[in-house]
Structure 1
């Protein structure tokens, strides 16, 4: 009879632990399409989002990562978004280095490519831009550049926040330079340009650049 008491005590202890884990289940991340309560706050409560922009620079590894390992961003943690995007971009065949800045409404990408001819640059820009648009909420606009002289300008945006007084002007000036100096790829669809801007939106800068005709020629 004495030998049964430790076994009974162990069983009771395990049952109590199981109940505690079940009660705290909402605090553990779920797999698949499920999200926990904290993630729901990130998605649906704008006040809960961080004001800091996300910035990551990623250099291609000698052992390429599997692009299937990159998970779709299910909430806009801007730093994690920048990390996932940069990891995905350096897997692309002609991209060896990518600096990614995620603001509250734009993604700016400065990347290094081994393609030098205009056709190759255009195709690489199209791949980079589409890879980003596949991972961010659809209201985001994406701007890319392969001009090394603009990398520092893009990275400087990463030190700003949504409350920075010069944020809007700084982003606008950098975006205008990116559009002037670098191809942006194909238009995304009818009434939507290469950067994901719909006709009539205030960010619609593409018509003003030398790459507008190039975008139209490759539709």
Structure 2
């Protein structure tokens, strides 16, 4: 009888300890996910502690020798979301559609008459440049010719679809009829 009671107590303690450990891991993961969320400050007050923290890492070649190679990935939806939100913070923009592909960023926008076409293109393109890696080609359009609808229809496609590249290239060709902010600080 004492053995059964002892085994039951040990089992209960193991459950409690393992349950607490999992809770702690979930809370740490949730904190990391929250810090990486570009919209984390949108609907609640700004957390001063998070905003004041800096990101820093330092490694030596020897430390990285035995580490498995990691693929760097980009959440294209979050990047498109972040770019659109940044552009919409400017008072002269009313609607923005952003599509991030494997190598291009397509941005269609509707801006009011108070902003010059070149300035609108400049704001849109610089907003994307501020968050995207340098190797992405960024294309902007003031939505003349229904570019926003074209981008919406392409977003359901896949890079594996054989017509995807052709359709994307057609949209980019249309977009080039709009100002592209081809000043000396941008690629093209």
TM-score, L = length of structure 1: 0.55
- In structure 1, the partner of 2:101 is 103
Instruction: Answer whether contact 2:92 2:114 (CA < 8 A) is retained.
Output: no
- In structure 1, the partner of 2:149 is 152
Structure 1: any 5+ residue segments left out of the alignment? 1-11, 35-43, 47-74, 198-219
Shift of 1:95: 0.9
RMSD: 3.1
Distance (whole Å) between structure 2 residues aligned to residue 23 and residue 129 of structure 1: 39
Deviations 1:8-38 (A, max 9, x none): xxxx89x94654445567634434638xxxx
Match of 1:165 among 148, 157, 162: 162
Shift of 1:147: 3.0
Deviations 1:179-199 (A, max 9, x none): 1x210114353xxxx4x33xx
Change (3 A) 1:176 1:23: closer
Shift of 1:123: 0.9
Deviations 1:85-136 (A, max 9, x none): 111111112211001111111110110011378xx11011101100011111
Structure 2: any 5+ residue segments left out of the alignment? 1-12, 36-52, 57-69
Match of 2:88 among 84, 87, 90: 90
Distance (whole Å) between structure 2 residues aligned to residue 112 and residue 123 of structure 1: 13
Change (3 A) 1:26 1:171: same
Distance (whole Å) between structure 2 residues aligned to residue 154 and residue 140 of structure 1: 17
Match of 2:71 among 38, 41, 45: 45
Shift of 1:173: 1.3
> What count of residue pairs does the alignment treat as equivalent?
142
Tell which structure's C-alpha radius of gyration is larger.
2
Shift of 1:83: 1.4
- In structure 2, the partner of 1:128 is 124
- In structure 1, the partner of 2:78 is 80
Choose 96-105 or 150-159, whichever is displaced more. 150-159
- In structure 2, the partner of 1:182 is 178
Distance (whole Å) between structure 1 residues aligned to residue 114 and residue 133 of structure 2: 31
Aligned residue for 2:120, secondary structure, equals helix
